[in-house]
Amino acid sequence: MSAEILDLFPEGTTVDADRGLTVGGVALADVAERFSTPAYVIDEAGLRARVRRFQQALSANWPLSQVVFASKSFPCVAVYRLMAQAGVGVDVAGPGELAAALRAGVDGNSLVVHGNAKTTAEIEHSVAAGAGLIVIDNFGDIDRLERAVADRQDVLIRVLPEVRAATYEAVATGQRGSKFGLPLDQVPKAIARVRASAKLHLAGLHTHIGSQILDVEPFETAVQTLAELGEFETYDFGGGLGARYTYTDHPPEPEEWIGAITDAAGRYLPSSSRLLIEPGRSLVARSGVSLYRVVNVKRGDRVTVAVDGGMGDNMEVALYGQRFEATVVDRVGGGEEADLVGRHCESGDRLSAGVALRSPRAGDLIAVPVTGAYCYTMANNYNGAMKAPVVFCADGASREVVRRETFADFFARDTSTSTG
């Protein structure tokens, strides 16, 4: 059983006879002792290796290409910096993401700017930052860009390809009725408008069909759909490849996903075109582990193990019903079936129902794997919880790249006068 659970943790995770689970050469028990819990733990070397794997697979299949990190999956300055060092482009979809990318030293030309409701200010900031590509989601974007651009701006038009991938409703984005992109019958008008602009250069088309997709066929369909709209310099096929969260998940490997896209591109697109992909979840999820301390264990009709975190640091369960596995850090794998629940005042605050934990008791450390995507992103202060730190582990050393939130941080924006 320990081998099975280890397959979900970052590559290179080991079990030390004395200290239990070790990530990046650092015992999770030592992380908890130094930084307390809950905490997000990142295998830095594992993440860098994962990035190289995507880059190598894409360049081998389509030399004129670029991996672009979908930063909404983990918008942490240290992660932006890691991506910039690796030569990966960065996609941003909001003003904070843009600011964090620039703070990390991401070159403006490597930015791809998204958003279905980009404000005038956001577009102006993106243009001022020298964004390499701005993705047009609607006709209003064209109007705002023409007012903001002084010289010339490369753009992509986001196409709604009418592809419904098998995934959670909340993260399906390619089907009819989606709020993202232009319907197929409106794309020719948008192309004509951009081509008629003296300020905008139509570099090509973009599409994104969703997230946590576990088969490649919908991506192939999306390639063919964009090909039918004409020949362009650049085609951006977004991200969407799923991560393996549970024992029963079997997503395509990055090479298989990239191969499906590039094979379809070889059949339908000009060989001279540039291909972009935007992996997020599949790039960062496995490199992350969430670390908790057990507060109490209730034994009755069910065994309920309550920890010091929950939906304040992992909203994926409550939002999508995403399942996670877990283990006691110093008794890895197997055990009795238990419900792992959080500390927040919601019955839906469950990290995992029916997960195997070996003899759980108060004070134990619990590790939940595959939390590198969207958990930090959607962290919140429900019930006054302080947001967890982000700890990078590599070569036996740990470093805090985001510190734990304090009460001073929590009240920093409160301008009311004390009545005390």
Residue 345 among the catalytic residues? yes
Tokens of 245: 């969260």
Please enumerate in sequence order all residues whose Cβ is within 8 A of that of 107, keeping only pairs 6 or more positions apart, or say none: 84
Query: Distance (Å, rounded) from C-alpha 174 to C-alpha 237?
Result: 11
Q: Taking the CB of residue 281, how many other CB atoms lie within 10 A of it?
A: 26
Tokens of 151: 């010289």
Is the CA virtual torsion 32, 35, 38, 42 positive or negative?
negative
Catalytic residues: 345
